[in-house]
């Protein structure tokens, strides 16, 4: 039994007991009220989900297992000569709750390297898909195609899964699947954009380093991939993709079905597509104005957009009420490596200009740039096609979502089934108040 497995086993035993005691004691405590507007408006701010892996503080931003973005970037172990931590270290933190030592990260890297080989049929399926297929859909199909390999699903069929051991089978699937996602993604990238010139993995590299290497993109893109995959790994499990993964898994579906559903959840322009929207906006500004764009012109463009009722892409947030530290971390990377990139210069100008304008519109609760603001500019600087951005998002959310569904099984969370209400029921409820 590996040291990692032993550690997880002991944490699960302790947490499970704590969780059950907590539930017994507090299950009838009320934690809030529900307004009709919240039911209609996407359940915004309703505290109805459970995760122990992270929470979003409106002022500090995302807190992973008690650590802020800056603390995680500072404390997690890093590859030699790297400024960004191992993605494997973030996975370890999310799944165990502890900052790993070098040795503990090494163990995860070795587990991932042993398990990342793809079955041949995955390559064949990808090669035979229509060339117009969206790369993120290709990723979802490839993951689904491996579903019959699920250790959890096979054990369930044989009647071996119980509420005490379900987590062990889920852990096997999570560890088998997570390292394969970047290998599939790199293959899709080369297939679609690089004339099918596939690059073989480098066993000496960590997940982020190998992903960039297999895409054929030079340093420091590996650094950005590590940063990006950590920053987007988990956001309190309530966004569309993470919540979908959790919802599907709640019916005791395996990790393959659950994460491919979550990845499909990234398709919409309001979630996974938001990076592209923001990138397109900056690109249009650049194409229309070239380097003639000044603070004054940009101000006027934004005022005109707001007067027309349009949203400024890459600004605002549903929960955060301060600058998103995930944006600031990417900005810092940009300041170091993209200073002369024309789009980055526009994004910099926008950061100095737009918040002041948005602040004048009191209905806009957060005038600051969000996570999606400059990610596309940085990926594109290293040659990534904008249609591939969502695949990179999928790789990132897989880290947190798979850790989350492992804990769903460890804590025996039940199938999710909220109750719906009709307009007439809402009328009736209102009459009785």
Catalytic residue list: 271, 317, 372
Is residue 382 a contact point for ligand FAM (CB under 6 A)?
A: no
Window 20-49: contact mask with ligand FAM (x via CB under 6 A): ------------------------------
**Residue 341, Ramachandran bin (φ over 0: left; ψ between -120 and 50: alpha; else beta):** beta
**Which of 208, 220, 314, 400: binder of ligand FAM (CB under 6 A)?**
314
- Cα of 60 vs its chain's centroid, Å: 18
Tell me: cis bond preceding 191? Omega within 30 of 0 counts. no
Is residue 232 a contact point for ligand FAM (CB under 6 A)?
A: no
Taking the complex as a whole, the smallest distance from the CB of residue 400 to ligand FAM amounts, in Å, to 14
Residue 254 and residue 147 in contact, taking contact as beta carbons nearer than 8 Å: yes
**Three-class secondary structure of residue 221 per DSSP:** helix
Residue 252: how many CB atoms within 10 A of its CB? 17
Residue 225: how many CB atoms within 10 A of its CB? 26
Stretch that binds ligand FAM, among 9-17, 102-110, 208-216, 308-316 (CB under 6 A): 308-316
Under rule CB under 6 A, how many of the chain's residues touch ligand FAM?
Answer: 19
Q: How many CA atoms lie within 13 A of 94 on its CB side?
A: 35
Taking the complex as a whole, the smallest distance from the CB of residue 302 to ligand FAM amounts, in Å, to 8
Stretch that binds ligand FAM, among 177-185, 288-296, 312-320, 336-344 (CB under 6 A): 312-320
**Strand 61-64 with 67-68, pairing:** antiparallel
Q: Is the dihedral of CA 60, 61, 65, 70 positive or negative?
A: negative
**Which of 97, 119, 216, 316: binder of ligand FAM (CB under 6 A)?**
316
Cβ-based nearer residue to ligand FAM, 371 or 374: 371
Stretch that binds ligand FAM, among 129-137, 183-191, 305-313, 401-409 (CB under 6 A): 305-313
Cβ-based nearer residue to ligand FAM, 262 or 314: 314
**Cα separation of 377 and 32, whole Å?**
40
**Cα separation of 269 and 311, whole Å?**
13
Is residue 374 a contact point for ligand FAM (CB under 6 A)?
A: no
**Cα separation of 254 and 256, whole Å?**
6
**Which of 49, 328, 364, 413: binder of ligand FAM (CB under 6 A)?**
364
Cβ-based nearer residue to ligand FAM, 190 or 365: 365
Taking the complex as a whole, the smallest distance from the CB of residue 239 to ligand FAM amounts, in Å, to 6
**Cα separation of 25 and 235, whole Å?**
28
Is residue 271 a contact point for ligand FAM (CB under 6 A)?
A: yes
Is residue 381 a contact point for ligand FAM (CB under 6 A)?
A: no
Is residue 317 a contact point for ligand FAM (CB under 6 A)?
A: yes
Sheet holding 54-57, edge to edge: 54-57, 61-64, 67-68
Q: Give the interface with ligand FAM as residue ranges (CB under 6 A).
A: 271, 274, 278, 306, 311-318, 363-366, 370-372
């Amino acid at each position: 039994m590996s040291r990692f497995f032993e550690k997880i086993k002991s944490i699960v035993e302790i947490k499970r007991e704590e969780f059950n005691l907590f539930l017994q004691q507090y299950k009838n405590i009320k934690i809030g009220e529900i307004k009709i507007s919240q039911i209609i408006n996407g359940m915004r701010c309703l505290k109805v989900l459970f995760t122990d892996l992270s929470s979003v503080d409106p002022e500090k931003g995302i807190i992973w297992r008690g650590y802020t973005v800056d603390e995680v970037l500072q404390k997690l172990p890093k590859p030699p000569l790297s400024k960004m931590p191992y993605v494997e270290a973030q996975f370890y933190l999310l799944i165990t709750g502890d900052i790993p030592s070098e040795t503990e990260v090494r163990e995860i890297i070795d587990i991932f390297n042993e398990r990342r080989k793809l079955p041949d049929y995955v390559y064949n399926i990808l090669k035979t898909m229509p060339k117009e297929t969206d790369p993120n859909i290709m990723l979802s199909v490839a993951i689904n195609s491996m579903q019959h390999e699920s250790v959890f699903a096979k054990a369930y069929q044989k009647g071996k899964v119980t509420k005490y051991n379900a987590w062990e089978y889920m852990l096997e699937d999570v560890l088998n699947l997570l390292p394969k996602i970047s290998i599939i993604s790199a293959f899709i990238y080369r297939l679609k954009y690089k004339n099918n010139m596939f690059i073989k993995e480098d066993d000496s590299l960590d997940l982020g380093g190998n992903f960039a290497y297999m895409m054929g993109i030079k340093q420091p893109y590996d650094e950005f991939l590590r940063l990006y995959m950590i920053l987007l790994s988990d956001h309190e499990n309530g966004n569309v993709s993470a919540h979908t993964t959790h919802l599907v898994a709640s019916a005791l579906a395996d990790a393959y079905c659950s994460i491919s559903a979550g990845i499909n959840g990234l398709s919409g322009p309001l979630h996974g597509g938001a990076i592209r929207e923001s990138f397109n906006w900056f690109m249009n500004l650049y194409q229309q104005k070239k380097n003639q764009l000044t603070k004054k012109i940009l101000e006027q463009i934004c005022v005109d957009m707001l007067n027309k009722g349009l949203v400024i892409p890459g600004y605002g947030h549903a929960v955060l009420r301060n600058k998103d530290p995930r944006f600031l971390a990417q900005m810092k990377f940009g300041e170091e490596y993209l200073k002369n990139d024309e789009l980055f210069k526009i994004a910099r100008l926008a950061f100095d200009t737009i918040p002041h304008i948005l602040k004048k519109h009191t209905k806009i609760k957060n005038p600051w740039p969000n996570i999606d603001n400059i990610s596309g500019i940085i990926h594109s600087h290293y040659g990534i096609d904008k249609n591939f951005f969502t695949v990179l998002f999928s790789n990132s959310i897989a880290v947190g979502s798979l850790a989350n569904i492992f804990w769903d099984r460890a804590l025996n969370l039940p199938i999710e089934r909220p109750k719906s209400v009709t307009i007439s029921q809402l009328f009736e409820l209102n009459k009785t108040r």
